[in-house]
Amino acid sequence: MVKFYREQLENGLQLIIYPDYSTPMVALDVCYHVGAKNESPERTGFAHLFEHLMFGGTKNIPNYDDALQQAGGENNAYTTNDLTNYYLTVPKENLEIGFWLESDRMLELDFSQEKLDIQKNVVIEEFKQRNLNQPYGDVWPLLRELAYKVHPYQWQTIGKDISHIEDASLQEVKDFFYRFYAPDNAALILSGNVDREECLHLANKWFGSIPNRNVKKAAIPMEPEQANFREMTVERDVPDTALYMAFHMAGRTQREYYICDLISDVLSNGNSSRMYQRLIKEQKLFIELDAYLSGDHDPGLFIVSGKLANGVTIEQAKKAVWIELKSMQQELVPTIELEKVKNKLEANLIYSQMNYLHMAQELANFENIDRAERINEQIDIYRSVASADLLITAQRIFSESNCSQLNYLAKK
């Protein structure tokens, strides 16, 4: 049981405090409830752009990194389709430095055309490097556009089109900041060697005066049920032909999500998994093969992806994968096999909770989904899943009409 404390400031900021006295360090994590799914389809990539802009300095603190490093701290950030997360670690004696730094940039950034142009160029180069200039770089943009027609999960956090960042004006960027980067659209998580009363005092001191911006949560368009098989074939200059199959599945608040997670582990987690043993080791159809979840908070994707062995065709590979998926639909997973997967997953969860920084990020993630208290429900949900649940869920999601298939061919 993860024991933490919850408070709320008058301006709406959620405060979550997780004491862990096994470390002399503290993690301070600010999670903003804004990700790529909150962007306009004509202006994508803004949440990721702000991941860079937030380190560009404020009017009061021109250089964020220098101040933190002098306090013996480190920092980083990441953006997903669902959230933007900024986190730092400092020795417990210098905790107030973290409050000072994070509250100042929540209040207001030092916006200028010069700083915007610098960060736009960084993001544009990152877009080119990630999507255009590396093998298999455009897989995710292609697969998302194939699988999603309505939901904003159809684009990556880096953005849908490079022009959206190139053409972004300073006023548009300011508007995005004041719309989403606010205490009533954020959670502040403290994890590590912290005192509850001290954290509440410092939160009120540094964040309490930041005005509530009355952030309105806009409705996200939900993806309608897919009715027909979708297929796309591209040819690229890559070493190996690859196959990607995506199936729509439940979001993070639903029990089916955890069932799908177990299905993916039965199929491909480790060298004793079904697909590794049968399709890589025995039949030698793939050189790599994996089944995994996109991990999105709204209904996401169950993905099977693999690189084909030399001489194997897409049809041969597809047929072999479907045999494994249909086996999940027709035969109960033996209890001993399911228990092995559950035990490994539970051990990983418990081990991860020993890291104070990981705990801050997990609490932030669950708070973004809807409530941090979900962190204590995971293991019980996994334990409650029976073989029949896997079979029923496999029957529901593994249908050809629910499949989006990307054939990624290596140029001959």
**CATH top-level class for 230-410?**
alpha beta
C-alpha 381/C-alpha 35 separation (Å) is: 27
- pLDDT digit string (tens) for 60-75? 999 999 999 999 999 9
- In this prediction, residue 133 carries a pLDDT of 86
Do 230-410 and 5-207 have the same topology in CATH?
yes
Cβ neighbours of residue 320 closer than 8 Å, sequence gap 6 or more: 278, 279, 283, 285
C-alpha 79/C-alpha 130 separation (Å) is: 15
C-alpha 88/C-alpha 101 separation (Å) is: 10
The string of DSSP codes covering 175-227 is HHHHHHSSGGGEEEEEEES--HHHHHHHHHHHHTTSPP-----PPPPPPPPP-
- Among 319, 73, 53, 370, residue whose Cα is nearest residue 217: 370
- In this prediction, residue 320 carries a pLDDT of 98
Q: How many residues does the chain have?
A: 412
- Among 178, 174, 39, 177, residue whose Cα is nearest residue 113: 174
- In this prediction, residue 149 carries a pLDDT of 97
pLDDT > 70 fraction of the chain, expressed in percent and rounded: 100
**CATH top-level class for 5-207?**
alpha beta
Radius of gyration of the chain (CA): 23
- In this prediction, residue 412 carries a pLDDT of 81
- pLDDT digit string (tens) for 225-268? 999 999 999 999 999 999 999 999 999 999 999 999 999 999 99
- In this prediction, residue 362 carries a pLDDT of 97
Tokens of 185: 């659209």
Decide the pairing of beta strands 14-19 and 5-8.
antiparallel
| Amino acid (one-letter) located at 333 | V
Rounded to 10°, the helix 255-268/335-352 angle is 110
Per-residue CA distances from 255 to 93, 133, 252, 383 (Å): 42, 39, 8, 12
- Among 103, 238, 81, 235, residue whose Cα is nearest residue 158: 81
Enumerate the β-bridge partners of residue 408. Answer: 234, 242
Which burial class, exposed, middle or buried, applies to 233 when counting CB atoms under 10 A from its CB (0-12, 13-18, 19+)? exposed
Tokens of 20: 């862990």
Q: N- to C-terminal Cα distance for the chain? A: 55
Domain boundary assignment for the chain: 5-207, 230-410
Which residue numbers in the chain have pLDDT < 50? none
- Among 107, 111, 96, residue whose Cα is nearest residue 209: 107
- In this prediction, residue 217 carries a pLDDT of 86
Report helix, strand or coil for 31. strand
Tokens of 112: 């200028």
Report helix, strand or coil for 19. strand
- In this prediction, residue 35 carries a pLDDT of 97
The string of DSSP codes covering 118-150 is HHHHHHHHHHIIIIISSTTTTHHHHHHHHH-SS
C-alpha 162/C-alpha 243 separation (Å) is: 26
Which burial class, exposed, middle or buried, applies to 380 when counting CB atoms under 10 A from its CB (0-12, 13-18, 19+)? exposed
The rounded Cα 383 to chain-centroid distance in angstroms is 24
- In this prediction, residue 132 carries a pLDDT of 85
Enumerate the β-bridge partners of residue 40. Answer: 43
**296, 81 contact by CB (below 8 A):** yes
- In this prediction, residue 109 carries a pLDDT of 94
C-alpha 379/C-alpha 258 separation (Å) is: 10
